[in-house]
């Protein structure tokens, strides 16, 4: 299998299936096609369209089969690996996991627009308006409900890591990067996702990237820049 992705620092949709495959130990070849200066760079579009008719990342190529859209990729992985608990086994938990993953896939535009994913940067906490607050409230309600009803066997939404956690992983990065900490349950959940080997490895890849996509950066002060700190520590050691 080939998973086609873009910049690890910025491409939140790419992170989702990458993390799923990595956490479940499913072998795949990573094909990273860096964005150009902007998201509609024609050379990037041409390159990505060879893998995805939608012209977006992520895209999965499994032999002759092409799958695009992060959620469809996860379903394809679940279909092809029925031996793995990609979705929770319990039907009630699985129904909720699928519903909240679809809700994530289709929603939370206010949070996504106001707080673009940039793993290298941490911004100051501030009021980002009622629509972002409503998204944050709904996401925290989802996380609290899943943790309370189904999460007793582990630190993830349904106990063990599942596709639902992969779907929400970039949101945990936004909560950290924009210092959104609604409550201790959500803070602990963000920590658990970011402590996975997969997330850590993706983040190190992101820190090693030189690219910044100006149109996708929040226009506000950066409190911490992990990439420059990393470069400084490499130079001084
Ligand atoms: N709904 C899609 C969203 C994919 C998406 O918007 N990907 C972004 C990168 S994170 C992209 O390819 N942007 C380039 C563009 O829109 O031209 C999915 O779930 O895969």
Structure confidence at residue 27 (pLDDT): 98
Note whether 231 and 207 are within 8 A (CB). no
**Rounded to whole angstroms, how far apart are CA atoms 74 and 66?**
13
SS3 at position 36: coil
Q: Is 112 in the pocket of ligand 1 (CB under 6 A)?
A: no
CA-nearest of 208, 205, 203 to 193 is: 203
Note whether 15 and 170 are within 8 A (CB). yes
Give 184-234 pLDDT, tens digit per residue. 999 999 999 999 999 999 999 999 998 878 777 778 888 888 887 766 665
Structure confidence at residue 203 (pLDDT): 97
| CATH superfamily assigned to domain 2-80 | Glutaredoxin (3.40.30.10)
Mutate to test the pocket of ligand 1, among 13, 44, 51 (most ligand atoms within 8 A of CB): 13
Structure confidence at residue 235 (pLDDT): 57
State in Å: Cα 232 to ligand 1 middle.
Answer: 32
Q: Where are the domains of the chain?
A: 2-80, 91-200
- For every residue of 111-148, DSSP letters joined together read HHHHS---TTEEE------HHHHHHHHHHHHHHHHHHH
Task: Name residues of the chain where pLDDT drops below 70.
Answer: 230-237
Structure confidence at residue 38 (pLDDT): 76
**Straight-line distance from the first to the last Cα atom of the chain, in angstroms, rounded to the nearest whole number:** 38
Farthest CA pair distance, the chain:
54
State in Å: Cα 72 to ligand 1 middle.
Answer: 13
Closest atom of ligand 1 to 69 CA is 20
Q: Is 58 in the pocket of ligand 1 (CB under 6 A)?
A: yes
Structure confidence at residue 236 (pLDDT): 59
Structure confidence at residue 211 (pLDDT): 86
Place of tokens 């980002």: 128
State in Å: Cα 150 to ligand 1 middle.
Answer: 30
The residues that bridge with 31 in the sheet, in sequence order, are 4
Architecture of domain 91-200: Up-down Bundle (1.20)
């Amino acid at each position: 299998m080939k998973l086609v992705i873009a910049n690890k620092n910025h491409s939140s949709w790419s992170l989702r299936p990458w993390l799923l495959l990595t956490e479940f130990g499913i072998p795949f070849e990573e094909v990273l096609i860096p964005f150009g200066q902007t998201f509609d760079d024609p050379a990037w579009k041409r390159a990505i369209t060879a893998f995805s008719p939608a012209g977006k990342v992520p895209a999965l190529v499994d032999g002759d089969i092409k799958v695009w859209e992060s959620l469809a990729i996860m379903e394809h992985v679940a279909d092809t690996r029925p031996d793995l608990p990609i979705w929770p086994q319990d039907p009630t938990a699985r129904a909720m996991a699928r519903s909240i993953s679809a809700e994530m896939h289709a929603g939370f535009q206010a949070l996504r627009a106001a707080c673009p994913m940039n793993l290298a940067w941490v911004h100051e906490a501030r009021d980002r308006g009622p629509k972002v607050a409503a998204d944050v409230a709904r996401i925290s309600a989802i996380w609290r409900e899943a943790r309370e009803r189904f999460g007793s066997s582990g630190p993830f939404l349904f106990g063990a890591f599942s596709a639902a956690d992969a779907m929400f992983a970039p949101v945990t990065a936004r909560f950290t990067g924009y210092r959104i900490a609604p409550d201790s349950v959500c803070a602990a959940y963000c920590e658990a996702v970011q402590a996975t080997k997969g997330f850590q490895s993706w983040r190190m890849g992101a820190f090693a990237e030189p690219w910044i996509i100006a149109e996708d950066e929040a226009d506000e002060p950066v409190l911490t820049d992990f990439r420059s700190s990393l470069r400084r520590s490499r130079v001084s050691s």
